Amino acid sequence: MVDTMKILTAEFIRSCVGPEQFPNGGLPEIAFVGRSNVGKSSLINSLLQRKSLAKVSRTPGKTRAVNVFSVVTGDVQLARFMIVDLPGYGYAKVSKSIRAQWGPLLEAYLTDREEVRIVVLLVESRVPAAQDRATIEWLLSIGHLPVVVATKVDKLKPSERVAGLRRLGAELGLDDRLPVIAYSSTTGEGRDRLWTVLKERTRI
């Protein structure tokens, strides 16, 4: 199968713990958001075809900053941009003080950054959460039409796939504007489709 996106370079730039640390330079940004342990780091590594660019942790809630990566591709539609990995939400064992820091940081980034061209919302294909639906509604309210990606679809049996994704869409209140992209960081399923959607939606 022909790869739809050739990654020339992908590198970690910085971790931001406050809005003043967000990068300057005006490059378009693609933000990734989702609850803790949904597989954001694994998906970013899979998408960029790097084994350990985004650090994968077995401990939910480990990402406590806005992590920024610079990407250069061989595609003129999406040649240079930033990928931004936002802290995961919804992990109960994270202290209230840390959660209190995350909220304003995410809100400042997603509401105030002109560079944010698209938000990719990751949801667990088998276990959607009420917070996922609330996040979708909030993103829509501030003007972001998220790309919804169902992670870990390799964990679904083939016989469960169609019904499971349909149920996921219903529970999240999705409509024709928000189709679900099935993705597996293990097998690479969904990678080409996600790149296609990102190129269509960012219009860089």
pLDDT digit string, tens, across residues 137-167: 999 999 999 999 999 999 988 888 888 888 8
Buried b (16+ CB within 10 A) or exposed e, 48-60: beeeebbebeeeb
State the pTM of this model.
0.88
pLDDT (tens digit, 9 = 90+) per residue, 130-144? Answer: 789 988 999 999 999
42-64 average pLDDT score: 76
All residues at 6 or more sequence positions from 69 whose CB lies less than 8 Å from its CB, including other chains: 10, 11, 12, 13, 44, 48, 53, 54, 82, 83, 84, 85
- Banded pLDDT at 3 (limits 50, 70, 90): low
Residue 98 lies in a domain: yes
> What CATH number has the domain bearing residue 44?
3.40.50.300
pLDDT band at 63 (very low <50, low <70, confident <90, very high): low
Beta strand ranges found along the chain (DSSP E): 7-16, 29-34, 66-73, 80-85, 116-124, 147-151, 180-182
Please tell me the total count of domains within the chain: 1
Asked whether residue 2 is assigned to any structural domain, the reply reads: no
- Provide the residue range defining the domain that includes 137: 7-202
- Within a domain: residue 174? yes
CB contact at 8 A, 46 and 53? no
The residue ranking higher by pLDDT, 135 or 98, is: 135
85-99, 103-117, 172-186 — which one is most confidently predicted on average? 172-186
Is 105 inside a domain boundary?
A: yes
Q: Does 104 reside within a domain?
A: yes
